[in-house]
Structure 1
Amino acid sequence: MARFGLIGKNIDYSFSRGYFKEKFQNLGLDHTYENVDLPSEANLEHFFANMPGFKGLNVTIPYKSAVIPFLDELDPVAESIGAVNTIKITADNRRIGFNTDHHGFVKALEPFLPLEDRSALILGTGGAAAAIVHALANLDFRIQFVSREASETALSYEQVNRYVILDHLLIVNCTPLGTFPKVEAHPDIPYDFLNNNHLLFDLVYNPEETTFMRLGAERGARVTNGYKMLVGQAEKAWEIWNS
């Protein structure tokens, strides 16, 4: 039997626990997977000092960067992204950090490629966006960030106009806007300028169809949520834990 888990905050909703429990049952494995719900970063030190017998861990918000000081080694991709969502614990108790979010995103995006133009509008500049940008840069996409405030590297939402929308055919929501229970929330972009050349990719997966997706579909855009990305990153984590 092996022990696995997810580190995060307020994670009763977790995709990972249900997914891996079902996976273990289907494979006939007597493994366990549990939520490690930590109320603050201050609890990380105590957890890693006393963690009992885990073989592998997933990490979700808000600790994807905060766990890094507690690791013995970082995979180069995780180091480049600056965030970890998978930790492998070796037989000699070394903790190695990986990022499989970018892998999951690429797997989920592949069925929609090619687009008419490799241009992406990234809504949000947090940790989730970092993995998406890493993946898109490797696919030679032009990337434009959008944030609440304009900066040297990002447009503000007020600056996103018809020309910005038409110049970016992939629009990725990397914010939590629209997540259950606040399902009516959505990024404030001018949806009226979308057309059937656009793809709206929402990292949110609960609800299955977000308001962001619905508003895009109403204008003819293709839309998808974050579920297949989660499956892809989870399967990559499983591969890493067993390598």
Structure 2
Amino acid sequence: MNSLFGLIGYPLGHSFSKRYFTEKFEQLDLQDSHAYTQFEIPTIEDFPALLGTESIKGFNVTIPYKKQIIPFLDEIDPAAARIGAVNTIKILPDGRTRGYNTDYFGFQGTLKAWPAYPHFKSLSALVLGQGGAAKAVIAAIEDLGIPVIKVSRQAGEGVVAYEALPQLMESVGLIVNTTPLGMHPNEAACPPIPYELLRGQHYLYDIVYNPLETTFLRNGLAHGAGGIHTGIEMLYGQADKAWEIWQS
């Protein structure tokens, strides 16, 4: 085995990354030289020992270590530094480690490729939620020059509450759900935005991908939104970006 990659996290169950990269290696006829495994480590202090793994070339990082891993890395990509989270690590030829956030690239790439992009890029964007995924989404949107309004259950510094949204909807084009509301098995849940105020200028993007069409997206279409975008392309986009980083 010439090239080994793996997922760091704890606990680790069924992994999208392992299935995705195993299938990719087979599609590229690399299964004899490339492999993907899972590194379930109970503490981040166990990470340095993994660097001695034979043929290791890179890692994906999942919860709870996306933030904790940063002090253990030699370099951080600027976007990942702004976001404060790393989900991909490349082992450089000299053995140093460099961290990236491919959620940023996965989301931004799908946004720019969306045919609706020209219709909302001159308006503001609502980002629902304030977790790690929201930080990547916010950075990706801001870097496209789109003003971001951060939304959470409670107002705070630089953050508005859902109750304030009716007064903001006319200035908004894009609405992104980064919360787990609507994710399987709680598929009936959805963010409490004023759906009755949606118009053709509003485009909804949900980073949840299970189910593919969430209640948030269905409500958007039912109330006249201009279009919707599911989360599955972002999931594949961030994985493709990780592969691109490892190959560069």
Give the Å deviation of 1:13.
4.5
Contact in 1 for aligned 2:88/2:100 (Cα 8 Å): yes
Distance in 1 between residues matched to 2:80 and 2:224, nearest whole Å: 36
Counting only pairs closer than 5 Å after superposition, residues 116-131 of structure 1 correspond to structure 2 as 116=120, 117-131=122-136
- For residue 215 of structure 1, what is the aligned residue in structure 2? 219
SS at match of 1:140: coil
Deviations 1:49-76 (A, max 9, x none): 2452321111233322111011111122
Give the Å deviation of 1:14.
3.2
- For residue 188 of structure 2, what is the aligned residue in structure 1? 184
1:21 aligns with 2:22: yes
Moved runs in structure 1, 4+ residues, more than 4 A?
none
Structure 1 length normalisation: TM-score? 0.91
Q: 1:124 to 1:5 in 2, by over 3 A?
A: same
Counting only pairs closer than 5 Å after superposition, residues 188-207 of structure 1 correspond to structure 2 as 188-207=192-211
Give the Å deviation of 1:11.
4.6
Give the residue type in structure 2 aligned to 1:194: L
Contact in 1 for aligned 2:123/2:171 (Cα 8 Å): no
Give the residue type in structure 2 aligned to 1:32: A
- For residue 48 of structure 2, what is the aligned residue in structure 1? 48
% identical aligned pairs: 51
1:135 aligns with 2:135: no
1:36 aligns with 2:57: no
Contact in 2 for aligned 1:196/1:219 (Cα 8 Å): no
SS at match of 2:168: helix
Distance in 2 between residues matched to 1:178 and 1:60, nearest whole Å: 21
Contact in 2 for aligned 1:166/1:194 (Cα 8 Å): no
Give the residue type in structure 1 aligned to 2:119: L
Residue in structure 1 matching 2:111, options 101, 109, 127? 109
Q: 1:68 to 1:181 in 2, by over 3 A?
A: same
Give the residue type in structure 1 aligned to 2:187: V
1:170 aligns with 2:174: yes
Give the residue type in structure 2 aligned to 1:45: E
Give the Å deviation of 1:78.
1.4
Structure 2 length normalisation: TM-score? 0.89
- For residue 154 of structure 1, what is the aligned residue in structure 2? 159
Q: Which runs of 5+ in 2 are unaligned?
A: none
Deviations 1:146-203 (A, max 9, x none): 1121112111122222x32232110011112222122122111111111222111111
RMSD of the TM alignment (CA)?
1.8
1:232 aligns with 2:233: no
Give the Å deviation of 1:129.
1.3
Distance in 2 between residues matched to 1:241 and 1:218, nearest whole Å: 42
Contact in 1 for aligned 2:126/2:149 (Cα 8 Å): yes
Q: 1:173 to 1:9 in 2, by over 3 A?
A: farther
Aligned residue pair count: 239
Contact in 1 for aligned 2:181/2:191 (Cα 8 Å): yes
